[in-house]
Structure 1
Amino acid sequence: MTIKFGLIGGGVMGEALLSRLITRGIYQSSEVIVSEPLSSRLDFLKQQYDVAVTTDNSRVLTEAKEVLFLAVKPQVFSAIAQELGHIVDILNRENYREHSPLIISILAGVPLSQLEAAFVQLPVIRAMPNTPATVGAGVTAICSGAYTNAKHHQIAQQVFSAVGEVVEVSEALMDAVTGLSGSGPAYVALLVEALADGGVAAGLPRAIANQLALQTVLGTAKLLQETKMHPAELKDRVTSPGGTTIAGIAKLEQAGFRSALIEAVKAATERSQELGK
């Protein structure tokens, strides 16, 4: 069977995507090839998902007919780009370029300009998923290069919908995406931990406090998502005159809770901009 999907990088995020793509039937195991330098990791991926494996990145680009997915550390991108350069030259020859795969990169901080310099005249999409993608509950922002078309957009949407929701943004907004949804899981984890600590401080056993905090955050997010209710409306519904919730909210406002989250997103955005230079 024809190889359609090539994955360079078999780490946590790469495996999460691979697992969901195969489970949902978007690609069959026989249509996938994975490149990874660690032999132990390759053996695991071959046994777990029954996919073709290799340590040769050039083979992945040569064989993948639909998508080449880059899921490596940004620091090794230049080495991989150099390794693949001669294959890119071949694909750019007459009768080859139209059959080249879509290049999808999740390399943080690597802009389209660098990706398109490495994959000359090939269709490129830059993406920023977040860690909940590993359980199929992520959100991924994508932006498209100069040589992409509607079919490429559809492929990228299909690939990332396997691990959650997908939004399309201009590249100028990718640092803001990093500051919000990319770093956001850490903010939410801190919120859950702090809620549980508050429960313990109020006398709850740790295990129960953890359970209550986690399910409260999970349930509230699901409620907002399914009802499309504005967060402010939900807050007003829970807050009764002179009640317990307004007393808690007053303390949060006094401590600058909302301002702290806003500043966290801004700081992470600025740091992302610095790292991308």
Structure 2
Amino acid sequence: MNIHIIGGGNLGVAIALGISKYTANHKVTITRRNIESIQYLEQKGITVSSNNTHEIQNADVIILTIKPYQVDTVLNEITPLINNKIVASAVSGMTIESLQTATQNSCSVVRIMPNIAIQFGESATCISFPEKDKSAAQPIVDLFQKLGTAPVIEEKLMDAATVLGACGTAYALRYIRASMQAGIEIGFDSQTALAIASQTAKGAAQMLLEEKIHPEQLIDRVTTPQGCTIVGLNEMEHQGFSSSLIKGIKTSLNKIKE
């Protein structure tokens, strides 16, 4: 496919890099008004342009990784050129219906919510689309399945997917940072503490993905009677570890819905 990404910020660049590295036979173009910071992408075979409509008529898929306030301007600019194409929108809070209206129902619209780990082929990308566009959406599902996981969900859950899958990257990194800081306090240098904390989190996640069981079942494997693991877990719960994380996720969701 010819893939045209509008929005060369962190997410747009991560998608472009992921596609170029982990998939084959796709031509990627990415646009941004000020291209100086992303011109290095050309060395990786990615076309970079300051013009949102640059060869857009040759695109099969247009991926929007822009801010909500930019949508009207961008769609007014590109709509005359994207008839019968697929628009995959990663714009937070922007419904399929509103996008179809803005594009004058001239193309198929799919909502996607990847995270920046897509750069390393490890995104949790939630996807939603109308039933009438199921066949058009399938290439999008296939593409993002090569870049991590790509569950298809109901559109009403897309805001929740943003919080759990996209904001969730920051929450997971904050856990790793805290674990690193604790590692320094108990005797490790910062680099060693970071390496241990990062690999431990990665290993725990991989076990869940491979075995597809409840986290508590894996916790039980490393929690022995009167051991150091259980006292640490209990202290974290006494200090509100789980409840603070849940409250943070719900607060983020409320922000999106404002």
> TM-score, normalization: structure 2?
0.89
- Is the Cα–Cα contact under 8 Å of residues 140 and 165 in structure 1 kept in the other structure? yes
| Cα distance in 2, alignment partners of residues 193 and 126 from structure 1 | 31
> What displacement does 1:57 show?
2.7
SS in 2 for 1:68: strand
Counterpart of 1:94 in structure 2 is none
Distance 1:140 1:28, change over 3 A: closer
Q: What secondary structure does 1:134 align onto?
A: helix
Contact 1:7–1:60 (Cα < 8 Å) also in 2: no
- The offset of 1:216, in angstroms, is 1.3
Residue 126 of structure 1 aligns to a residue whose secondary structure is strand
Q: Give me the whole-angstrom Cα distance separating, in 2, the residues matched to 1:41 and 1:210.
A: 28
Q: Which segments of 5 or more consecutive residues in structure 2 lack a partner in the other structure?
A: none
AA partner of residue 6 (structure 2): I
Give the match for residue 45 of structure 1. Answer: 41
The structure with the largest alpha-carbon Rg is 1
In 1: Cα distance, 2:146 partner to 2:37 partner: 22
SS across alignment from 2:88:
strand
Q: In the alignment, what sits opposite 2:178?
A: 194
Is contact 1:34-1:60 (8 Å) kept?
no
Question: Which residue number in structure 1 is paired with residue 9 of structure 2?
Answer: 11
**How many aligned positions are there?**
257
- The equivalent of 1:87 in structure 2 is 81
Calculate the TM-score normalised by the size of structure 1: 0.83
Alignment CA distance shift 1:135-1:193 (3 Å): same
Give the CA deviation at 1:38.
2.2
Distance 1:199 1:165 in 2: 31
Task: Determine the structure 1 residue equivalent to 2:134.
Answer: 149
- 1:26-64 superposed Cα distances (whole Å, 9 cap, x missing partner): 4344xx44433224357433343153x544333444221
The alignment yields a C-alpha RMSD, in angstroms, of 2.2
2: distance between equivalents of 1:119 and 1:147? 16
Q: For structure 1, which runs of at least 5 residues remain unmatched after alignment? A: 92-99
1:127 matched residue in structure 2: 112
Map Cα deviations across residues 68-89 of structure 1 (whole Å, 9 max, x no partner): 121223221111112124335x
Instruction: Supply the distance in 2 between the matched residues of 1:205 and 1:54 (Cα, whole angstroms).
Output: 43
Residue 50 to residue 195, structure 1, CA distance change in 2 (3 Å): closer
| Percent of residue pairs identical | 29
Q: Secondary structure at the match of 2:16?
A: helix
Q: What do residues 190-233 of structure 1 show as CA deviations (whole Å, max 9, x unaligned)?
A: 11111122222223333322222122111111122222232101
Letter of the aligned partner of 2:4 in structure 1? G
Distance 1:240 1:266 in 2: 33
State whether residues 17 and 119 of structure 2, in contact with CA within 8 Å, keep that contact through their aligned partners in structure 1.
no
